[in-house]
Amino acid sequence: MKSIVPRYTREIPQRARLEGAKCLKCGHIEFPPRLVCSKCRHREFETISLQKTGTLLTYTIIYTPAETFSMQSPFAVGIVELDDGVRLTTQIVDVPLDELKIGKRVEMIFRLVQKEGHAGILEYGYKAVLTN
């Protein structure tokens, strides 16, 4: 089995700290970071911490998840727009599913995302919770 450790380690700045890359020419924020700005093709960026609050743009309820997530079923996955305009796909947790609504405010938190089987590593990263 191919180990997920190298990739997990590489992605810690994004998954654990929500670090994005802000284009030094046009100000566009790339998340995850890219080598070339998708708006102006510039190649120089500064590392920034994304806003930890945002709005729920849309969501869906997963009833038939991949095996790793079967214990959590059913659960919500949505697209969140952070207050700096960055959009990301994330699990929305700690909420009765009938309380979810498009447009609700969210906060990004740090949680366990999945376990690599019974003996592998624990993968942590961001998820969203409702704040209103």
What residues line the site for Zn ion (CB under 5 A)?
23, 25-26, 28, 37, 39-40, 42
- When the beta carbons of 35 and 98 are compared against other proteins, the nearer one is 98
Token duo for residue 77: 């996955």
> Does 113 interact with other proteins (rule: CB under 8 A)?
yes
Q: How far apart are CA 13 and CA 5, in angstroms?
A: 14
Measure CA 31 to chain center: 9
- When the beta carbons of 26 and 102 are compared against Zn ion, the nearer one is 26
- When the beta carbons of 19 and 107 are compared against Zn ion, the nearer one is 19
Are 25 and 46 in contact, with CB atoms under 8 Å apart? no
Q: How far apart are CA 8 and CA 79, in angstroms?
A: 22
> Does 93 interact with other proteins (rule: CB under 8 A)?
yes
**Rounded to 10 degrees, what is the CA torsion of 39, 44, 49, 54?**
0
Span interacting with other proteins, options 12-20, 25-33, 54-62, 78-86, rule CB under 8 A? 12-20
Closest distance of CB 13 from other proteins, Å = 8
